[in-house]
Structure 1
């Protein structure tokens, strides 16, 4: 394979090989190397491998620190099979380390049989080459026929087959590199010869031609104290010029929404500086000021351009309650948070309508710290973090009757309204029902809507803990009115008083939200996570096999128990799990816990 046929070496340095890939940056790569010591299953290796697999990125395993005592190339590859759930033919070494006096001193290319470095022993070379050739031939009918017929397979045919399998992610090559440079040259040959070049894309791609129609994408948004909003744009095809109008297609292509905007100036980022540039062609990254586009949006010169593929973002699952530190901060908080979430789409801002709490949803503690630091240093806003408040509900524990009386007659126009209500609980999720069974016109028909309006207003406020009251049927059974002093406002107030009076004649139960939880995790941690969910009052619905050594656990857990769950789960399984949640329904809260909340 040295050099792989038809390929010339591409310059590469250590910094290029050490780039960390995570989140959306992983999906923007065309290849991925993963350096491993003796812990292939540790965080973030498994999560990063799954991210790259979902993005269809070709991958290689580079075993580092093989010259450290107790390190074994074969044992690490076996551990990779188990940690990543790979098939027997998916992970194959293309170079084997050569040992002399118990230390790695060179490499042996399995496709060519040529050695590099100092001479040494490699007793498993024949068996490893046979396994590699069989794996390559298994994906190509022509090679398989020649292999089964016993015909010799030339180096060029095997190299082409290896390259195709790597690009298709059907095979992941493995090799070893030591601290003293053994295997480094072979690694660079593998990168430049067998992996796809930067122009390779799955599916249709815009032509990298300056004369082609413009196709660019917003890859980052930041802010400047003097210029304001700055969009970092990568050009995939065509030419972007200053003082031109462009068409912006939103990343959510299904919405079909688009806008037209004007590009005023182009600048090239150079560290902290921005240097004016006359144009931007395919491959360039430039800064555009005051563009209203968002991250992932496509920029073109016609409205017929299809949006470029957007990348999947991590879902923020950690809620952080925030409050302005001072009145000055409060005046600037809303605008600063809006800018912050625009610059970082992995953040989500929520103004909870029930608790009236301002919540910043993050992916983890580190993400939250970075976001709050940006608020403080970049936007000049200081905030205090407060515990996340879960939106609870109230409901009646039994049937009750209530009497509401508002009589104020001290001369002149007064207020007069009397309501008698009957309240009964409904099954969870039924909502609110209002009925009237007034006999003899005790309450005029014109005031019955006022009674319902007053009841609904009190439902929103609650009757015991301040949480909204739900799942009840309220029936107006009697009342009194005055020909002069009765009014819409009076009957609203009387209805509210009657509902509160009814609440005093029965128990008020609290309802808590329940979330559907899905956790993907290695089987080694299944018992610990099951015990933890049970301690959180969770109901486990079952588990299913997600892959070799990987399980998908489904459960229903009260949301009040999940406020810090992403962080605590990460600690419990050492970062080797994926977690998702969605609101399911409301259920009755245990009385003991409800009493604590009420206090």
Structure 2
């Protein structure tokens, strides 16, 4: 599978919503390309692409996968992607590494929410697209309904270059509108077909759609318009060239009907990829940034300097870390060294591979335009740039993936596994760029964040399978805080005499409320040495430590000033410890008299929803004690900016999905703390005291 001419390479991503049949289509293509001796099946666990145990069990794609095949003297690198919402960060990463896309639409369900999102990803990277309408053999399949759905949803021009012969059980072939021939398929899924004349009952419809195809092509060129108006026939070469130009310029989108499971249309799709999608040399000057100057540069595929972008990492229990990269210029060979610009480290390349799903194919070198893999790179991570030039400062832009929107607290089922949980998840984070792992300093919870509940469940499943560590998922605790609303003064005195040297510390303090976010400020106003200077730090430490457990519910107390203004000491019995304890006693007494209250965290919420669900979403946010800050129109919907208490949005992702039918998305970040309403504060205080009591009993 060696390739020497960059013009004979196609890099194409297969995208759609989950269940449209992308992976089944790729498995069928691998059979046709003689990579596999049978057609793999997602349903029975024999897919070459969905080979991860979690994918086999759930029967869905979770990770992007690569399949490199040779067809008609062309190397085609197919990137198969997840279609379910929780894993679209993988799809975004895949889209960044290719020059064209096959959008797999279901003839049954047409366009779904996830299709809209991945279409936007493809637009973001300016990809030319071919549409494959799959499942034409299934009940309720309707080719033209799917076309209408595509046209309405994306405001584009889907242009059939093939028409189906029959549908549902009667789907048996395809009409080629370029050659004006019928391809009749056998009942077994061999992809071989007989070329026949178009059935008489379909000839009129075929001629009508061919005319529309010719009209679309003629609009691309003045000479072709004249030829069309003069009634001259277009040559096959002119039609193919016109379809290619229209596809690459995105003036229209070629459409092919087919069935992955019956192997109808898959070979025609491969030929269309070669004919109509761009090679790396035509449309893939990759955007990069010069770290030294900050300038944007575009990497020319004909530049001899080796540059590559790592867009996926796998952690294999046997082969170690696998780095999948796209070569954008130059070439790389076995037993060579490369420079990781992001990490400022040199890496050793031992053996290069092409990928065919779960299978690796050894190669001697990779040239510009190819996608390959190397294992056991020491420093390299996803979105790093590799070069041979140690002086290079040009790096490819990292992919902006969706931020995590849902977090769970992880509790190891065995105390012996606590260290394993953290180390195992950090390994999984190398593979899954969509997860985050943090430790909440206040609650001391280990928080795993992801794009949805299924995403987090899959990570937990992988943790068990790969590292033999089991955890429980729990809703995170809300990190409430306490503060005071008025000034108060009081004494804290610690006196202990039990034979020998005693303990004595005496302080008078004043607590004053501060503005939100000010934290803790200590002020020393002692005069005359009534509290010796060597004990002042102990007083501050005692106040600070006491404030970590507030007087209402044990939450940290913040946003106050503590003033030490008086006290007394004993020349023999006083000590740092005595004054620290005295300060702690003073804090508890004075804070209780300073109108203490509970503060709750408030989040900034940016919600993107379709027009027809805007009212429902706003109503829901109001019911969560949210404040709507702004509603701005955007393409196909509205952008709602709001501030909502964290306690009300811990599980917002599934709720928004339910309200919007999966079409709404959101981002969330911490904003500030505000006072919790008294009726809710009473409930929080009672619940927290109950938890503290249970912990003490244990």
Shorter-chain TM-score category? 0.7 to 0.9
1:95 & 1:234 partners in 2: Cα distance?
Answer: 32
2:341 is aligned with 1:249: yes
CA drift at 1:322:
0.9
2:459 & 2:534 partners in 1: Cα distance?
Answer: 54
Alignment of 1:336-375 (within 5 A): 336-375=424-463
Q: Could you say if the C-alpha distance between residues 339 and 168 of structure 1 is closer, same or farther in structure 2, counting changes exceeding 3 Å?
A: same
Residue matched to 2:245: 164
Find the partner of 1:45 among 95, 102, 115.
115
CA drift at 1:356:
0.9
CA drift at 1:358:
0.7
Residue matched to 2:106: 36
1:566 & 1:307 partners in 2: Cα distance?
Answer: 34
Cα displacement string for residues 174-231 of structure 1 (whole angstroms, at most 9, x for unaligned residues): 454479888777655543322224665432587778x944434444444455665454
Number of residues paired by the alignment? 577
Alignment of 1:40-439 (within 5 A): 40-64=110-134, 73-84=143-154, 86=155, 90-94=157-161, 117-121=198-202, 142=222, 154=234, 160-177=241-258, 187=269, 190-197=272-279, 200-204=282-286, 212-223=304-315, 225=317, 228-232=320-324, 237-242=330-335, 244-250=336-342, 257-263=343-349, 279-282=364-367, 283=370, 285-289=372-376, 291-305=378-392, 306-410=394-498, 412-438=500-526
Find the partner of 2:650 among 538, 541, 563.
563
Residue matched to 1:253: none
Residue matched to 2:661: 574
2:545 & 2:9 partners in 1: Cα distance?
Answer: 74
CA drift at 1:287:
3.4
Residue matched to 2:553: 465
Find the partner of 2:95 among 13, 26, 38.
26
Residue matched to 1:500: 588
1:67 & 1:337 partners in 2: Cα distance?
Answer: 43
Q: Secondary structure at the match of 2:640?
A: strand
Q: Could you say if the C-alpha distance between residues 18 and 34 of structure 1 is closer, same or farther in structure 2, counting changes exceeding 3 Å?
A: farther
2:400 & 2:175 partners in 1: Cα distance?
Answer: 40
2:570 is aligned with 1:478: no
2:218 & 2:675 partners in 1: Cα distance?
Answer: 61
1:158 & 1:59 partners in 2: Cα distance?
Answer: 18
Q: Could you say if the C-alpha distance between residues 537 and 419 of structure 1 is closer, same or farther in structure 2, counting changes exceeding 3 Å?
A: same
Q: Could you say if the C-alpha distance between residues 291 and 58 of structure 1 is closer, same or farther in structure 2, counting changes exceeding 3 Å?
A: same
2:613 is aligned with 1:525: yes
8 Å Cα contact 2:421-2:469 kept in structure 1: yes
Q: Could you say if the C-alpha distance between residues 188 and 241 of structure 1 is closer, same or farther in structure 2, counting changes exceeding 3 Å?
A: closer
Single out whichever of 371-380 and 520-529 deviates more from structure 2. 520-529
1:190 & 1:383 partners in 2: Cα distance?
Answer: 48
TM-score, structure 2 as length reference: 0.71
Q: Secondary structure at the match of 1:403?
A: strand
8 Å Cα contact 1:517-1:554 kept in structure 2: yes
CA drift at 1:378:
1.1
